[in-house]
Each structure stands twice: as structure tokens, then as C-alpha cells.
Structure 1
Amino acid sequence: MHVFICENTPNGILTGVYDAWELKIQERCSHADIYLVSGQPDNYELFCDYHTVAPSSENAGKVVSTLNRKLGHDFYETILTAILSIDLSGKKKMDKANAVYQTIVAALYSPKGARVLDSLSNPYIYRVFELSRATVSEAHHLKGFLRFSELQNGILFSTIHPKNNALPILAEHFTDRFPQENFMIYDETHQLAAVHRAGKNYMLVDASDINTELLQNYSENEARFQKLWLAFFDSIAIEARTNPELQAQNIPKRFWKDAVELRHFCE
């Protein structure tokens, strides 16, 4: 068995797919004898050859190009969103990197092509399906719940705390929606930020050293509108009909800390 240890990023896992396929061709081994893991394995097994994958944008790009050309963009989007998911099940379930690899193998070898994604009885494909669904579902929620605040320098800023790495999906969505705005979305969970300059494409940057205090310097208009919004929110509330359970159903509590009118409930 050949085990490829990949960095838990799209570049890392897709490079692992490229390297594994190259090994399969060179050594003429079976795809079934190849296993990909995202991150360091808990245990190293006997009779396994371990390969550490060095992320390569060039090789990952070749995989992306092949998937788009042979299987279509929708298939690639499913693979990407599965990779962006954060597996909270630990080692109880199949590693997402291996599920991605074996799903790609199944699609490229099957006459069905991209339609193999409908074959949910296949454990690899089902794993990709559930991982992709988790990321897409959370991104869908965040598109509705995300709040921008205007800073003193005119930049629109938002903080999010997603479980999955939904930031690339959100960045693409808001770049399309606000192409002429300067904005920044800060993913505090994963210490990443999407930075967009007006008229340009967005960039994903490391935000581990970000100064969050500077990002609380709101413009005068923003501070005024936040006060007005809070006053409106309080004035329309009917104390006798307060229903926290219904509130939590409409906006899950994990999103409250990033909503102006709800964050004080989290303090």
C-alpha cells in the first residue's frame, strides 16, 4: 500500500492526486493500492510506503484542468467543496483526501463520467457528497447571514466563524455581487481573509497576525446606523412573545456573535 500524506488544502490534496496517479503509471500498481490522507496520520502501519506530498500549484492546476476538461466544472466544484470541508468525525470515517482521489478515479474510468456522483451506494462517492453538502450548505447560510460594517477608511469589513472553509465560496459570491467595493471578509476560525479591491479579483491571505482592534474603528455613518438598527430591533420586540428557540431556528446560535443585533446575547 502506498500512502500519500497531503497538506489539508486544495493545493495539497490535488497535488497528492497528481503524485498518486504518476506513481500508479510508473510502478503499474492498482489505484486500490493507493491511499491519500489529509494531514499527518495518527499511526504508521507496517508494509506501507509513505510519501510526503509537497504542494505544487502547477501540478494541482493540471488536475483542475483535467477535471474541468473531462468531467465538467460542476464535478470540479463538488470535489473542491468536499476538500474545503472540515472533517469533524475524526478518524471514524474515511479520510476526505482518499474519498476525493477514489471518486476522481471512478469518474475517469467509468463511461458515466461525471454522472458517477449519482452513485451514492459507492462509499467514496457518498463521502464526497456529504462533505461537499456540508460546505455548500454552510456557505449558503453565510451568504444570507454575513454582515458588512464600514470602517473609517471606507472598507467594508465582516468577521465570520464557519465550521468549514467556506471563505473561497463567499469571496467569489461577494466579488460578483460588489465588484466596485473594497471589502474584506475575515474567517477567524481558520485565520484566513479574503481581500477585494474595487474592480479587481479577490485574494486569500493569511490573517493569523491581523490586528482586530483596528477593524473595530467604524465610520461615523456605520456607528450611527448600528445604533439606529439596534433601536429598531429593540422597539419592535414584544417581550411577552420572546421566543429564543424560534430565533435559534431562524438564525443558528453560532452565527449570533457576528450579527449586530444578536451579539449581546452571546456575551
Structure 2
Amino acid sequence: MQNSYILHCDDTIDGLLTALYDGFVIKKKLGSSYDDCISISIGSDQNYSLFSTWIEIMTDPKKASLTASTIYHQLGADVYAQVFRTLCHYDDSRGTVLMGFLTRAFKEGPSVLDHLSDPYVMRVLELSRKCGNESHLFYGFVRFTQLENTLYSRIEPKCNVLPILSPHFNDRFPKENWIIYDVTHKIGSVHKAGNSWFILEDPALLDIDLTNHQKKDPFHALWRSFFQAIAIEERENPRCQNTLIPKWYRRHMDEFL
């Protein structure tokens, strides 16, 4: 009977990529006897197993970068995009799913995405789609507030969408200082005018109370007035509105405050 392994990493993209790197090191040692016996536990999810080897994974940016580069260059941009969006999902099983998916992907190549009967492939496509759908919504749901010389926004997504959103706003506002703070994951995307964006993990610095700023910013009142003015009362449809803009996403949208 083959021994099973549980790799425990922190709940970050680099942490998961490091766990995948170490997982494939173990897989290589096992050789042909490997049979999906490696699972990845994330963050506070510490489900010990009596007959499994528990390994704590220390996040290593070099291993994470090498793993991402290998996926991109050996499997192509499409597979890399699916893997990256899966990494950004919040599902606790995504590490184990990616381990199984990549095991098959490195055997089959880019065509692995066509193997829809494989449970790992199907699960990756499902998680990737859900994360992609949520990030697409936030392209239109982000609302900025003027703070002196900086545009500031708060969002509360379920997935870690900042790495997906940030390139969009980097292209949209290249000459602006802006910050998008993710309340859920307590991280922020910071962009200095004329430079590239970066992710910062400092809630004490990034979590700003906007109450007074929004009262002073005339554009908030103008936007609410515009929102009310274009509405056709006879065609009001709350049910349709709830479908297109779920209440979860309205917490930081000016027109619903």
C-alpha cells in the first residue's frame, strides 16, 4: 500500500505554487508507482490523516516563479490561464485538484483541456470559470473615490480577483495613482502613476474609512442622481436587477449605498 502525503501551505498564490513544486518533487521520487496520493491542504484547513505523511510547506517565491514559468512554457497560455484562475478561487480543494490536473497535463500536453471526462480537468474548468465570471463582473462594479491625489476603491469579492483585475485598471488609468483594496482577502493592488501595479498585504495601511471622503466628493452625488434619473419607473424589475447585480456586490457601489 502506497503512503499518502498531505502538503500544507498558506492561502496565497505563491504558497500554492510552492506546494505544487514540492508535490512534483515527491511524485518524481515515487516514480511509476504514483497514484494521486498527494493532496494539498490550504491555510487553516488542517485535516490530518492517521496514515498520511504531513508536510509543512514554506512559501518560496523562486519555486513559485519556476512552477508558473514551467506551466506557461510547457503547457501553453490557455492551460496557464485556467490554472491561474483556479489558483485565485477560494475552494479549499483547489490545490489537490491542480495537483491531479497538472499530473495529467504534463503527460497529455495542452490538449488536456479536451479531456472533459476526467474529474480533475472538469473541476479545474469549473473553478476557473467561476473565478473568471466574478472578475469580469468587477470590471464594471469597481467604484473609485478621490483621496487627495489617489483614486481609492474597496471591493469584497469571494475569489482573489485582484491579480486578474489589476492589469485592466493598469491599462485604463496608467497616469493615475490608485488603490483597490480587497476587504475579503485583506490585500490591496497599488499603482503609482507611470509605473506598474503590485500587491500589498497591509490592512492597517490600506483599509481606509471612506464615509467622510464620499460626503465631500461631488461625483458620488452626481452618480447617484444619474442612476436615479435614467431609471424608468414603469419598467422597474428588482428580480432582474438582483440577477445582474447580486446584493453581495453592492456593498461598495455608490448607487446602492
The reply on whether 1:12 has 2:15 as its aligned counterpart is yes
Q: How does 1:1-267 map to 2 (within 5 A)?
A: 1-28=4-31, 29-87=33-91, 95-110=93-108, 113-151=109-147, 153-209=148-204, 210-213=206-209, 216-217=212-213, 223-239=217-233, 241-263=235-257
Is contact 1:37-1:96 (8 Å) kept? no
| Deviation of 1:214 (Å) | 6.2
Where 2:24 maps in the other structure, the secondary structure is helix
| 1:114-157 deviations in Å (ceiling 9; x for gaps) | 12112121111111111111110000011012112222x22111
Structure 1 residues 219, 244: closer, same or farther in 2, change over 3 A?
closer
Distance in 1 separating the partners of 2:30 and 2:223? 65
Where 2:36 maps in the other structure, the secondary structure is helix
TM-score, normalized by length of structure 2? 0.89
Is contact 2:88-2:131 (8 Å) kept? yes
Distance in 2 separating the partners of 1:181 and 1:31? 51
| 1:149-202 deviations in Å (ceiling 9; x for gaps) | 222x22111111111111111111111222111111011111111000111111
Q: RMSD of aligned C-alpha atoms?
A: 2.1
- Could you list the runs of 5+ residues in structure 1 that have no partner in the other structure? none
Q: State the aligned residue count.
A: 252
Distance in 1 separating the partners of 2:212 and 2:190? 17
Is contact 2:90-2:159 (8 Å) kept? yes
| Deviation of 1:206 (Å) | 1.4
Distance in 1 separating the partners of 2:27 and 2:237? 58
Is contact 2:190-2:199 (8 Å) kept? yes
Is contact 1:186-1:193 (8 Å) kept? yes
Question: 1:2 corresponds to which letter in structure 2?
Answer: Y
Is contact 1:180-1:199 (8 Å) kept? yes
